[in-house]
A and B are shown apart, each in its own frame.
Chain A
Amino acid sequence: MIVLGIETSCDETAAAVVTDRREILGDVVLSQLTDHRPYGGVVPEIAARAHLDHLDGLIRRAMDEAGLGFDQLDGVAATGGPGLIGGVIVGVMTAKAIAAVRGLPFIAVNHLEGHALTARLTDPAPEGLSFPYLLLLVSGGHCQILAVEGVGRYRRLGTTIDDAVGEAFDKAAKLMGLGYPGGPLLERAAEGGDASRFDLPRPMKGRPGCDFSFSGLKTAVRNRLSELPPGPFDPIDIRDLAASFQAAVGDVMVDRCSRAMAQFRAEHPTGDTLVVAGGVAANKYLRARLTALADKQGFRFQAPPLRLCTDNAVMIAWAGLERLRLGDTDGLDFAPRPRWPLDPTARKPDGKGAKA
């Protein structure tokens, strides 16, 4: 079984081809980073225009890489949401059109489901990763802990009540004058810093449940910056503040995840794997903290390779393939969904700024 996947929900335009033997035959990603950098964030209209300009050419390249014609596909999958709707529409329309021409099944994939299932494609064990497992999804748009019980079966144990963790990195980095995107820049700035120098809060730490909150941490960073001497920032101050920020995020992650692990284990005694996915999984410091936590709690730690943690089309093709195997496909009248929770039964988190 071979599936073409298309991803256009944020600022990466991507196409990929995967097989049910867990092979990646083609994988092309075009980052729009330079288009958006001057604005300090993703501009939806600029993103939508770029997706349309490049998507058909990228699909052609992915198919060429795979050495396949459209007739050799078994299905076409595209991110159907959640995300920036202008971009999602471009990917969905393109996929529907290919499906119509070639008489192929179309699968509208939840972008988060793509992140959630990638570990089943990349797990090094020969038999792959089986359900259930615990997923920490941390990116610029999301911060959730989910029990992954099967394809299409996700139970949310916790989510952010305000900012996503990647968003917190971006905002903190912006306040520190580090530029965009802030995650990798802040991580680099923190190298060798004194993480104990600045007093920053650990929002939600020790509280019941597994929810997150990061807006207070961002405010604290702003306050610490305002207490610094006037004039240009001293690089040492920024280094120590970045390290202090990262340590605070790490403490919160470890606290929330250890609670989630206990809850997951109580409900799923056979589950033994913590999967971390999303762009923030690229942060080496956080990864080390979570690996140590997993070791301590007797969980296997699994994170897909870096290029499959950030947005990509391999994960969409794979999630589409998992759905197609179960006969779960969509009509060509599918309506793109700007909002699309993985666990529709999850209660709305407390907090005014709740997004996810």
Chain B
Amino acid sequence: MDSATGACSVALWRDGAIVARRFAAMDRGQSEIMVPMVQEVMAEAGVGFQDLDGLGVTIGPGAFTGLRIGLAAARGLALASGLPLVGVTTFEAVGHGIPPEERLGRAVVVAVESRREDIFIQSFDNDMKLADQPRSIRPDAFAVPDCPTLIAGDAAVRLRMALEARGLQDAAGLRFAAGPGLPDAADVAALVAERGFASAADGPPRPFYLRPPDVTLPAAKPR
């Protein structure tokens, strides 16, 4: 399941392949279609919850409300079914969705929209292994990598604009992914199938906000 950014999707993985999937690009309204999508996908695959081995969900980063929609639904499903639930990050899901031929011989930077001034980014090497820590940066503070790199994710557009403003968009070895860069539950399912459910024993996956709430402590009162 995914609703962490500008989409909502549910997919069912069985024995090495996706057998049913729903995907809708949308900025709001995920709270309405997420659970019906789960029901549709399971009906199409002809399975009940008792037939599943586990559940997976994106934990963020992304839109705070969106990632909570997916996580609350997934944790509710896990609670009521007793199934193990594991989370993957938005970076991992988007990275997994890039066709291997598109990223051939390149490192990957996944840039995720925060809908604020900053963007969320994390890098992978050319074997799709995590190469640095996820972080929040201003697009104009992005340092062009010194190796051939593919930039993906729904904030790639903003990153490109910031690079254009600095005249760096055509820097040697820099490419931008063709796809919209939205996470897809099909990739979440594939990643979870690959990793297994052992981490579910540590408790339900926690949201990965990557930014504290926007709030400041009130000033001290005059008296």
Contact = CB atoms under 8 A, between A and B. Distances in A.
A90 interface: yes
A333 B73 CA distance: 13
A56 B73 contact: no
A332 B36 contact: yes
Chain A facing B: main interface SS: helix
A55 B72 contact: yes
Interface residues of B, number: 36
A353 interface: no
Contacts of A96: 35, 73, 76
A113 to B, nearest CB: 20
Interface stretch (B119-127, B163-171, B211-219): B211-219
A100 B207 contact: no
A48 B79 CA distance: 19
A189 to B, nearest CB: 16
Contact of A49 (B79, B213, B223): B213
A145 to B, nearest CB: 32
Interface string B55-71: 00000000011001101
Interface in A311-339: 332-336
A126 interface: no
A93 B80 contact: no
A59 B204 CA distance: 14
Contacts of B213: 43, 45-46, 49
B72 A94 contact: yes
Contacts of A233: 223
A85 B31 CA distance: 11
Contacts of A56: 75-76, 78-79, 204
A48 B64 contact: yes
Contacts of B75: 52, 55-56, 94, 97
Interface string B179-223: 000000000000000000000000010110100011101100101
Q: Which of B29, B75, B77, B221 has the most CB of A within 10 A?
A: B75
Interface in A154-213: 177
Contact of A335 (B29, B215, B223): B29
Contacts of B68: 48-49, 52, 86, 89-90, 93
B64 A97 contact: no
Contacts of A231: 223
A101 interface: yes
A45 B64 contact: yes
A277 interface: no
A89 B65 contact: yes
Given A48-B64, A86-B68, A92 B31 contact: yes
B12 interface: no
Contacts of B206: 53
B79 A43 contact: no
A103 to B, nearest CB: 9
Interface string B64-100: 1100110111111111110000000000000000000
A89 B223 CA distance: 39
A67 interface: no
Nearest to A175: B221
B197 to A, nearest CB: 17
A46 B215 contact: yes
B209 A93 contact: no
B35 A52 contact: no
A177 B221 CA distance: 8
Nearest to B77: A97
A344 interface: no
Interface string A22-40: 0000000000000000111
Given A39-B217, A96-B73, A89 B31 contact: yes
B112 interface: no
Q: Which of B29, B72, B215, B223 has the most CB of A within 10 A?
A: B72
Interface of A: 38-40, 43, 45-46, 48-49, 52-53, 55-56, 59-60, 70, 85-86, 89-98, 100-102, 177, 231-233, 332-336
29 contacts: A45-B214, A45-B215, A48-B64, A48-B68, A52-B75, A55-B72, A56-B76, A56-B204, A89-B31, A89-B65, A90-B68, A92-B31, A93-B76, A94-B79, A96-B35, A96-B73, A96-B76, A97-B38, A97-B76, A97-B77, A98-B77, A98-B80, A101-B49, A101-B81, A102-B80, A177-B221, A332-B39, A333-B35, A336-B31
- Leading 7 A-B pairs by shortest Cβ distance: A97-B76, A45-B213, A93-B72, A94-B76, A101-B80, A98-B80, A96-B35
